[in-house]
Amino acid sequence: MPITIRKGLLHIVLGIAMLLVSLPDAGYSQSPGDIAIIGFNGDGDYEIAIVSFVDISAGTKIYFRDESWDNTTATFPEGEGKITYTVPSGGVNKGSVVVINPATETASDGGTVDEVGGYNFSATGDELYAFLGNSTDEPTTFLFAITTKSSWGANEVPSDLTDGSTALSNIGGTSNQDNGEYTGSRKNTVSGLKSLISEVDSQWTTTDGEGDQSISFDETPFTIVDPPTLAFTSESITVSEDAGSVNIAIELVESNNTDVSVDVVYLDAASSTTTGDLSNYSTQTVSFSFGDGSGTTRTVTLGITDDSEFEGMERAVLQLTGNTTGSLVSSVSLTVVISDDDSPDIVINEIHADPDPSNGDANGDNVVDTRDDEFIEFINNESFDIDISGWKFKDSSADRFTFPDGTVIPSGTAFVLFADTAEIEASEIGYAALFDAGALDLNNGGETLTLTDQNGNEVVSVDNYSEADDNQSITRDPDISGSFVKHSEATNAGGSLFSPGTKADGTPFGSKYAVSIRGEEGWRMISSPTENTTFSDLFSGFWMQGIPGSDAENSAATIYYWDEAGETFSIPTGMNSTLVDAKGYIVYFFEDDKFSTPGIQGGFPKIVSSDKPEHSGSVTVTVSATDADNQGGIDGNEGWNLLGNPFGTDISVDAVLTALQAVNADVQLEVQVWDHDANGGNGAYEGLTAGETIAPFQAFWVKFNTAFSGSEVTFSRNNLAANIGTDFYKRRNQTAIELTFTLSDGTRFDNFYISLNNEATTEQDPHDISKLFSLNPNAINLYSTTPNMKLVKNSLPVDMQTTLRVPLQFEAPGRQNLELSWKGLENLPEGWQLYLRDTQLDKEADLLAIDKYKFSLSSGSAMEKQKSGEDNPEITVMSENVDRDPRFELLVIPPEAREGEESEQIPESVKLNPNYPNPFNPSTTISFELAEQSPVELNVYTIVGQKVATLVDEVREAGEHKETWNAADMPSGIYIAQLEVNGRVYIRKMTLIK
């Protein structure tokens, strides 16, 4: 079941959309738009949800028809179903929501429902009309209509209704959606609510029901208020602390030509600022006068105090209140985000520029190196954790290191930048955060060392330190606050020459672990590096729901673990339950950490931290691969295990795979981690391979290909630790020969890979990597299909002897125009050929001759179905069970196949020769060769795909043919000659220079 998380209402919904209705003819006068259907189901029970903007009397009948009205003949076609809803004895009050269920012939308000003729609202492009009828149920007044198509057809909108106002199309921004519901504000004037409902692109969410699943509609009544109405013009504003002030705009949203005023109040309890940060702000009153029209704005000025104390990102929440003559509508609260312009208290505590050639092995690799053993030690001396993502360390001559995204330094702890981390044990450096610069080249005689923030502002620097050329570091004495001295002379140093990550006496600065969650709200994959850690320990500072002990226990859950045996996401037993060691979890982070408090609390980045002891020594975790469907193998979503890094240091992917192979050798040779921002915001799982690392707090998927019962895997810290400062996730490590295929809508995209590997086979093996679908429900997903699974990476042997056909499938909800492109083909072994076959159009293209293929989706295609919107994400299983013929096939043909399998070859019966001359001005000759008489099309396109000339469109005899294209009236640029013969496409680039 898809799960949707809604910010304000916090309940489970399966999809959302909207629809407007019409009222019955029972002596009651009603007009178009007096009611609205705010939900429809094209799957499951076919429910309809409506809201009324007027009081409706008992006995009123409202009819619904799911067919196309002909406004010319004023008739519906025969044979379609009809629903009659009769208002109950108590009537329907203004603002009430009623859910009508034709399957059970019931209404949520107790009204009666009668279905005749088999009502069946189709998701493949249907209309739904609501109207009042006469004694024969023929329409007398249309109240509202919707269509899931992109636009209304000719004569489909009744004369009572107005397209875009009381007759809505393109709901959700796309066509052919199974289910939908209006999800905008439920408090406004009648005209304001009608206006919001008509904004289908922004105020509606639609979903693919996926297997006759329907929406559970929100029945919360609408609050209808009278004008005048007032609101802030935005929900949040960001301002720098040194801006001095910021203007806050209040809008008279809807006027009724009366005087009205409202107070702008500072909410101390909801803010992280104080009034001192806001120039001692006090409540201000904003007034609008008779004659001020709708949309008039007034401003109040909020002073910003620029102090010298670093306070991080602060939030001031303002609220509208005290309005006695009008009504307040969204947005009633405004969050002012104040970005601090001061530097945090970061201390450079130790500098080692002069390692001892004889006994200065600071990095633990048993090799003393005057460069590799150099390091800089920093201390976070603030009382709170600091996100240092994007910060830079530099010396007098160059930038030396940029700290990766997701890097958080807990309060009171150290972080150390080494020239080479080598084999340093975390325990030896006080469990400080460790980073590998690759080179530092510190000057023994002194220079300026500087740490800057992500905006290039100086955080801390040291000028002209002196190493004294005596083979030891210099350190502050006392630590943090003192002046630099030779390390051997520091208090309690015991003559030691250096102490990276620890105080001079070797004791730790601190042992807290933290990671930064950056970007936007959405799903993340999390594990815990510390012992006996509960969900409350990690997530109590954020808005969590759907779990006993969370902020909203009865709402959709925001924490899941994966049940391999059941092939399903499951919810933890409670916030106070303990995370399983080395297991991973999927967690949804909202932007607002306190929905029950006005304003946006928290924002991004968010810091997840734990000050409990790190897992030490070894950790065991149970893994399995269950043949749940008893088909004699692992297929579909079987065999997946969601694990996590159990340590406070980076761990090696190689070592993790080695540990997993000890219990089952048939494990896929990549681990998968989720990147929320990957592929242009599409979101995607990224494969980590040999030589890469997994960061602390990072959860990851592993996949076994053969069945086995639950077995314990031992993760040893000493064996797994990679000791390299890393991003919260790492990207794919390209293999020597890897072909990348990209499906894009122009903004978002997804990748599929073919890898040539000496150890791979043409059968399923650990080098083939299963596809995990994006957690973004509107994402593009590209993959190949096999009889028992979907793949993101198909690995083939370099010595392959036969032609291989690779079915290529995709999901692209809501898209109509797509582009498939590829790269890396220049790395193919000599003599290999690669063709793309479009099974729908029966065309084939030589991928070595072109680099992209543009295509459109036909109306009603399953690939067009859209899931719930990004603002209402859902948890799904990793690989959708979509069973249909693939749109494309990749034909991979090694040289041996052409020699031994002629039947599998692409016939060499056509040749498109290079044009001559090229470049040309203004004419060029294009020649092609045919082995037999064939139908031929020869067209010329611009580089962006616009056809500018047709040179041939007829049957031609066998032999060579020449055509001349005169481009005198065309601008300079690149043009494409495209030859199509018997469904196969051949392309040449041509350059016109004038």
Each residue of 780-815: pLDDT tens digit? Answer: 999 998 877 899 999 988 888 788 889 999 988 878
Q: Which backbone phi and psi does 602 adopt, to 5 degrees?
A: 105, -80
Residue bearing the bigger pLDDT, 525 or 117: 525
Q: Are 24 and 896 a contacting pair, CB within 8 Å?
A: no
**Distance between CA 466 and CA 450 in Å, rounded?**
16
Give the residue from 374, 367, 377, 378 showing the smallest Cα distance to 352. 374
* pLDDT score of 576: 97
Residue bearing the bigger pLDDT, 30 or 18: 30
- Report in angstroms the alpha-carbon separations of 623 from 463, 582, 703, 790, 954: 54, 11, 10, 21, 63
State whether residue 201 is helix, strand or coil.
helix
Express each pLDDT in 319-338 by its tens digit.
999 877 789 998 899 999 99
Q: Percent of the chain at pLDDT above 90?
A: 46
* pLDDT score of 511: 77
> Does the pLDDT value for residue 541 go beyond 60?
yes
> Which distant-in-sequence residues (6+ apart) come within 8 Å of 255 by Cβ?
227, 228, 288, 292, 293, 294, 296
Q: What is the mean pLDDT of the chain?
A: 84
Express each pLDDT in 234-258 by its tens digit.
999 999 999 999 999 999 999 999 9
Express each pLDDT in 337-346 by its tens digit.
998 888 999 9
Residue bearing the bigger pLDDT, 706 or 947: 706
> Does the pLDDT value for residue 177 go beyond 80?
no
Express each pLDDT in 881-918 by its tens digit.
445 678 899 988 888 765 544 444 444 578 888 889 98
Give the residue from 65, 67, 59, 62 showing the smallest Cα distance to 50. 62
Express each pLDDT in 1-10 by its tens digit.
233 333 332 2
Express each pLDDT in 579-635 by its tens digit.
999 999 999 999 899 888 888 888 888 889 998 988 888 999 999 999 988 888 888
Q: What is the mean pLDDT of residues 689-705?
A: 91
**Distance between CA 44 and CA 73 in Å, rounded?**
33
- Report in angstroms the alpha-carbon separations of 190 from 17, 195, 678, 693: 19, 9, 42, 57
SS (H, E, C) 718-779: HHHECCCCCCCCCCCCCCCCEEEEEEECCCCEEEEEEEECCCCCCCCCCCCEECCCCCCCCC
Express each pLDDT in 364-407 by its tens digit.
565 655 577 889 999 999 988 998 989 999 998 889 999 988 88
Q: What's the predicted TM-score (pTM) here?
A: 0.72
Confidence of residue 573 (pLDDT cuts 50, 70, 90): very high
**Distance between CA 730 and CA 306 in Å, rounded?**
39
**Distance between CA 532 and CA 27 in Å, rounded?**
69
Q: Are 525 and 584 a contacting pair, CB within 8 Å?
A: yes
Residue bearing the bigger pLDDT, 44 or 472: 472
* pLDDT score of 944: 64
* pLDDT score of 39: 92
In the numeric block, the tokens 């709901």 are attached to 171
**Distance between CA 488 and CA 505 in Å, rounded?**
10
Confidence of residue 729 (pLDDT cuts 50, 70, 90): low
* pLDDT score of 905: 43
The helix (run of H) or strand (run of E) holding residue 934 is: strand 934-942
Q: What is the mean pLDDT of residues 307-315?
A: 87
* pLDDT score of 364: 59
Express each pLDDT in 112-126 by its tens digit.
999 887 777 776 678
173: left (phi over 0), alpha (psi -120 to 50) or beta: left
Q: Are 474 and 426 a contacting pair, CB within 8 Å?
A: no
Q: Which backbone phi and psi does 241 adopt, to 5 degrees?
A: -60, -25
333-339/236-240 β-pairing: parallel
Q: Are 547 and 534 a contacting pair, CB within 8 Å?
A: no
* pLDDT score of 2: 32
* pLDDT score of 972: 86
Confidence of residue 733 (pLDDT cuts 50, 70, 90): very low
Q: What is the mean pLDDT of residues 672-683?
A: 88
Q: Which two tokens stand for residue 508?
A: 């730790």
Q: What is the mean pLDDT of residues 535-553?
A: 94
Burial 676-706 (b: 16+ CB within 10 A, else e): bebbebbbbbbbbbeebbbbbbbbbbbbbbe
179-182/35-41 β-pairing: antiparallel
For CA atoms 353, 357, 358, 363, the dihedral sign is positive
* pLDDT score of 736: 62
* pLDDT score of 361: 63
Confidence of residue 20 (pLDDT cuts 50, 70, 90): very low
Confidence of residue 760 (pLDDT cuts 50, 70, 90): confident
